[in-house]
Amino acid sequence: MTEPTAIVEVRHASITFPGVKALDDVTFRLLPGEVHTLMGENGAGKSTLIKALTGVYQIDAGEIVVDGEPRHFTGTASAQAAGVSTVYQEVNLCTNLSIGENVMLGHEVRGWAGINWRKTHARAHEVLARMGLGDLDPHAPLASISLALQQLVAISRAMVTESKVLILDEPTSSLDANEVEVLFGVIRRLRDEGVAILFVSHFLDQVYAISDRITVLRNGRFVGEYLIEDLDRAQLISKMIGKDFESLRALGSNRQTELRDRSVPAVFAAESLGRKGAIDPTDVEVHAGEVVGFAGLLGSGRTELARLIAGADRSDTGTVRIRGKKVTLNSPVAGLSRGIAYSTENRREDGIVGDLSVRENIMLAVQARRGWFRRVPAREVDQLVRTYMERFSVRPNDPDRPIRLLSGGNQQKVLLGRWLATDPDLLLLDEPTRGIDVGAKADIQETVAELAEGGMGVVFISSELEEVVRLSERIVILKDHQKVGEVVNGPEVTAESIVSVIAAESGDQAELQADALADEVAAGEDLAEQEGSAS
């Protein structure tokens, strides 16, 4: 079978930002009548590639070929003129305009006296009908329809210009299962009409349901292009995280598999804790001195679960017990006052207070707990600041420097200091090692182990499964906003075995696999326990 010629081809493209090579010699092509999915973890270069294709960024090297002609996109308008349309994750529409106005925005039909609204709405109706949305009234306000329909309206809008290429950047992240089906129906219809579709999603099941072809990126580099039939889930994940199966297997855990004394109530225990659209009801337990890893891909619900545990978001379901006592965690204050500290994955938006000094950033949570009236005495502040700046060797060693001027790794260390200064019983670390250099990473990993040693309960979340496996005693596995398994770490548990649980087709199978894993592990544990009691 000969392949049709590509509509869009990116050849050996590179984009360099100060200090980072965001794209490094990446090759990518889109064929007509195909859904081509772009996969990769955070920082793999997916969004950079999309921005290069839509003209937001310009490539430093390589070329972009559209319809056999090399193109140089100078902006989003020139990309659209070349027939490339994009629908982003958040619906970029005006909720105060009508559906028809949104569809036709910038492409209104003009008559002799300005815009001919009647014809404009008629054209909007045509375009909507092509998507199978013929029953939507183009005059109705956009705000009157559901988010899923709005997403479809956004796609209709992209198709007004008869685009040959449609880029869908995480279009399903806020849709439920039925809505996703409707969306996929439209995508298939467009595909069959010969539109080339670039699809990005973190939901593995959806990727396998809709894609014809997958390109994997990692750290800005091209890993490979595969037909969906040729790449099973486990292979895909190992390509994304950059370890082949053998090395994943070899990276066994070196954590001790001693289980905590279960007769003492857990530091934190939640039963069917959940929030609609974020994480399905989930049971979680963390004991004192234990590191619990949350493993899952981006968007699996790992951050959402951590936020519920910390009280950063309000839960709709479930009960929470702290040391056996039932509590309600409806705000970060409630979490902090009960000894739960949460270090967020989004350091810049949710972590640092940029214009405040390192000193003020460290003392902020302690001060907040004392209330505004009782200022933490200068001597105590100096003591805290010195302790944590020395412990994590924060550079530059200047507590009066605004924190925004520090490097990412040093900001992370300061934030870790902020949370440790509150002397928590449970510390939730969401991607504490993302985007920081190797030295800082090792420091933080070492700290986590030390803290657990000292009796703190720690929840550790990371995209790097090896890290999770290396540090955790138990691992909660999450996928598509659900807990799909929980394993006690042991010699048999490796990044690879976690991947196979995540990669399992549907929920049922995942549970089966998780159970099987747990059995295996339990057997190992028995052994370990026997050994322990013997010694």
Partner 1 sequence: MSRVKTALHTPWFWAIVGIALLLLINTIKNPAYLAISVNPTTGMLTGNVLDILRVSAPIIMIALGMTFVIATEGIDLSVGSMMAVGGAVAMETLSALNAPTSVGAMFAAIGLALLLAIALGAVNGILVAVVGLQPFISTLIMMLAARGIARVITDGQNTNATNEPFRQLANGQILGLPTSFVFAIAIVVLIAVLMRRTALGLMIESIGINPRASRLAGIRPRPILIGVYVLSAALAAVGGLFSVSEVMTVSVSGTGNLMELDAILAVVIGGTSLAGGKFSIVGSTVGALLIATLNKTVLFLGIPAAATPAFKALVIIALVLLQSERVRSFAFRRTTSADTPSGPATPAAGESTPVTKEVVA
* Residues of this chain that bind partner 1 (CB under 8 A): 310, 312, 331-333, 336-337, 342, 344, 349-356, 360, 364-365, 367-376, 405, 418, 422
Q: How far is the CB of 461 from partner 1 (least distance, A)?
A: 15
Q: How far is the CB of 267 from partner 1 (least distance, A)?
A: 19
d(CA 277, CA 483): 14
Alpha-carbon torsion (105, 106, 111, 115), positive or negative: positive
> What residues pair up with 218 in beta bridges, in sequence order?
221
Nearer to partner 1 among residue 378 and residue 534 (C-beta): 378
How far CA 145 is from CA of 140, 167, 382, 474, in Å, comes to: 9, 23, 55, 43
Nearer to partner 1 among residue 262 and residue 374 (C-beta): 374
Nearer to partner 1 among residue 73 and residue 342 (C-beta): 342
Nearer to partner 1 among residue 234 and residue 368 (C-beta): 368
List all residues 6 or more positions away from 192 whose beta carbon is below 8 Å from its beta carbon: 33
HEC states along 240-299?
HHCCCHHHHHHCCCCCCCCCCCCCCCCCEEEEEEEECCCEEEEEEEECCCCEEEEECCCC
Residue with token string 């998780």: 514
Task: Give the residue from 391, 393, 363, 365 showing the smallest Cα distance to 378.
Answer: 363
Nearer to partner 1 among residue 45 and residue 351 (C-beta): 351
Task: Give the residue from 273, 277, 278, 261 showing the smallest Cα distance to 327.
Answer: 273
Q: How far is the CB of 333 from partner 1 (least distance, A)?
A: 5
Q: How far is the CB of 508 from partner 1 (least distance, A)?
A: 37
Instruction: Report whether 143 contacts 173 (CB < 8 A).
Output: no
Nearer to partner 1 among residue 171 and residue 339 (C-beta): 339
Q: How far is the CB of 251 from partner 1 (least distance, A)?
A: 33
Q: How far is the CB of 270 from partner 1 (least distance, A)?
A: 19
Nearer to partner 1 among residue 295 and residue 309 (C-beta): 309
Q: How far is the CB of 357 from partner 1 (least distance, A)?
A: 10
> What residues pair up with 5 in beta bridges, in sequence order?
none
Q: Give the tokens for residue 429.
A: 């670390």
